[in-house]
Chains A and B, each alone.
Chain A
Amino acid sequence: MARDTLTGSRIRERRIILGMKQAELARRVDISASYLNLIEHNRRRIGGKLLLDLAEILGVEPSVLTEGAEATLIGALREAALREAEAGAELDRLDEFAGRFPGWARLLAESRARIDTLERSVEALTDRLAHDPHLADALHEMLSTVTSIRSTASILAEPGEIDPDWQRRFHRNIYEDSARLAESSRSLASYLEAEGKAAAESGTPQEEVDALFEAAQYHIAPLDAGEGADAVAEDLGHELSPIARALLRRAFRRYAEDAALMPLDKVLEAVVVTGTDPLALARRFGTDPARAMRRLATLPADAPCGSVGLAICDASGVFTFRKPLPDFPIPRFGADCPLWPLFAALSRPMSVLSRVLQSAGRQSGAVTAMAFAQPSGPPQVNREPVFEAHMMIAPAGPRSSEIPEDVGITCRICPRAACPARREPSLLGDGLAQGF
């Protein structure tokens, strides 16, 4: 039943909550009890003064009776119900639930949102713990030093005489190890504290470049204005490590080349017609879909076609560019889902693969993913081409009628059971038992 036809049900629910008899309410608004009964069963529409009087007596805003609970609350509850479909929540009675128990409904919606936030944190942290070589090395260094200190201190603390030479050596070792431990602890603490700061302080060179693009919202205005790529890289990347600066120069040269062939003003005009279709945009500019994807992903945030995400990987699957969307995160360390069309494209170069995807187990909207792989350089005699794949992601608006394919973000937090592409057990549910 449509939401706006449930005004009567809301009046009835509110009256019952207040413990008021139907006859009493009818008397107070000066209508017959039988007429109120028809209203409460949604068999008579009401409005005007009668609605205002009922709302006043029931102690609610008239809009609460006509519109029910807030649309966002209903939306959040619907998503929560779909996310846990096996629980069998009565979707057709969402309005009724939110209207009768608004506090519980808000609590449920907020709890669902909180779970989502926590899942994202788990994802980021497990991603980091599992794949961050710096962290693994630092922990190994600390544990080795602690082992040495523990073992040496234990020897010195044991009863009995120790040769003075050995004693001196062990004292010196403990002193050295304690200094090493202090240094490695400090280093680890600074590294972990830098979590929210620029990747330049701690991450890999590619992460530093990713962070710079993210901070610029992926749009580098000076390059679109025709400034030299190297000069802009020098200016914006002066705080990066030398390797990251080299990566940034390469990325900016490509950006500048794209911008020269597909000028910003013309792209902004074109996307009014093409939207986020990279093929249509590529045709208009006589270029390849990969370049069109890159231009779409680096448009200003207020571009008329909306924002798209982009992942670019080399033939080994390592990301060289990543612009995630809120509904479609892209892990930092390449531990992503092998089911993404990005990787399928590598085995089907020069074909555009288009899929509607949904992140398995996430409370997020579907996205349209278009993937395309092509050689990353010019042809060479007797040399195998090296491929590079692009995957552009956009909210699945026009094609949302398609049934989305469930894909994961990383195996560790993916609930898909019996997935042929699973690389390691999931931390969720009984994931440890799934095929391992």
Chain B
Amino acid sequence: MSKRVMLIEDEPNIIEAISFILSREGLSVETHSDGTTANDKLRASTPDLLILDVMLPGKSGYDILRELREEAGTAELPVLMLTARGQTRDREMAERAGVSAFMTKPFSNAEMLDQVRALMAETS
């Protein structure tokens, strides 16, 4: 059974591109674009890896991350965070919230795949 990745991102074309790349890697990809329902979706169906944008409608990626770290089922879930803001302060905020890896937009597909593979390897 293929490993599952949940992608929470609000840019439809980024969703399509990332979904395509990950599917081609043999991963099963579930996508959502709304921040407010993200934690419910994660509770209902916890993936093997979460790729999470920071700026989402309704709820920020930081808040989603903090919340999921407080729940037993997702406390250890690998989370790759994507952001258009790459300042040290943003990186520190992500780290404090419990991020596993952090990528600044725009990133290359190869960089993202490397991160995904590394995080998947840690869990297997």
Q: A residues within 8 Å of B by Cβ?
A: 139-140, 143-148, 150-152, 154-155, 166, 169-170, 173, 176-177
Contact = CB atoms under 8 A, between A and B. Distances in A.
Given A146-B106, A177-B13, A151 B18 contact: yes
Nearest to A139: B84
B17 A143 contact: no
A155 B17 contact: yes
Interface string B79-108: 000001100000000000000000001111
24 contacts: A140-B55, A140-B84, A143-B105, A144-B11, A144-B84, A144-B105, A147-B14, A147-B84, A148-B11, A148-B14, A150-B106, A150-B107, A151-B14, A151-B17, A151-B21, A151-B106, A151-B107, A151-B109, A152-B13, A152-B17, A154-B109, A155-B21, A155-B109, A170-B16
Chain A binding surface, main DSSP class: helix
Interface residues of B, number: 17
Contacts of B109: 151, 154-155
A170 B11 contact: no
B20 A147 contact: no
A36 to B, nearest CB: 66
Contact of A147 (B21, B55, B85, B105): B105
Contacts of A152: 13, 16-17
Contact of A144 (B14, B18, B112): B14
Given A140-B84, A140-B85, A155-B21, A176 B13 contact: yes
B11 A166 contact: no
A147 B108 CA distance: 8
A374 B17 CA distance: 57
A176 B85 CA distance: 23
A155 B105 contact: no
A27 B104 CA distance: 79
Contacts of B85: 140
Contacts of A144: 11, 14, 84, 105
B84 A148 contact: no
A351 to B, nearest CB: 38
Interface string B35-67: 000000000000000000001000000000000
A152 to B, nearest CB: 5
A231 to B, nearest CB: 42
Contacts of B11: 144-145, 147-148
Contact of B106 (A139, A143, A170, A173): A143
Given A140-B85, A143-B84, A143-B106, A148 B17 contact: yes
Contacts of A173: 13, 16-17
Contacts of B14: 144, 147-148, 151
Contacts of B105: 143-144, 146-147
**Which of A147, A150, A155 has most B Cβ within 10 Å?**
A147
Nearest to A174: B13
Contacts of A151: 14, 17-18, 21, 106-109, 112
A144 B107 CA distance: 10
A146 B17 CA distance: 12
A170 B17 contact: yes
Nearest to A166: B20
A151 B55 CA distance: 19
6 closest Cβ pairs, A-B complex = A143-B84, A151-B17, A147-B106, A147-B105, A148-B13, A173-B13
A179 to B, nearest CB: 12
Nearest to A148: B13
B99 to A, nearest CB: 18
Interface in B1-33: 11, 13-14, 16-18, 20-21
A152 B14 CA distance: 8
Given A144-B105, A151-B21, 9 more contacts: A143-B84, A143-B106, A144-B84, A151-B17, A151-B112, A155-B109, A169-B16, A170-B16, A173-B13
Contacts of B13: 148, 152, 173, 176-177
A177 B16 CA distance: 13
A154 B106 CA distance: 12
